[in-house]
Structure 1
Amino acid sequence: MYIFLFIFLYILFFFFFLLFFFYFYFFFIFFCFFYLFLSYHFFFLIFPSFFFFFLFFLPFFFF
């Protein structure tokens, strides 16, 4: 009986972990596109803002 409980908890934990991971992954992709869209309209801010953008959001790639 405890084996079934552990299997159920393991599946539940794995499901929530995937949900959490894909939520942040798609949010990051959406934020990247939104940021590139804004940077396109403010051309003189592209290079400095790209530097700060990757400086702050690069750790999310290694999450």
Structure 2
Amino acid sequence: MTKREWQVAELVSEGLTNRAVADKLVIAPRTSQGRVEHVLTKLGFTSRAQIAAWGVEQSTRQQPQSS
């Protein structure tokens, strides 16, 4: 995925709507919707909830393990 698609996926994972994602990234709402659709396609998902679950999984993988 592109850097922007990663950003969109992260914001969707936080529960933001397409409009809120657009506002946060200073892009048009239609552009935001298109980016979400690209993320869904690239990940093979059919819902925003799947993006959210995937985003949580990705963020836990990136956190350092405590010993």
TM-score by length of 1: 0.29
Q: Return the structure number with greater helix share.
A: 1
Larger radius of gyration: 1
Q: Which has the higher contact order (CA 8 A, sep 6+)?
A: 2
TM-score by length of 2: 0.28
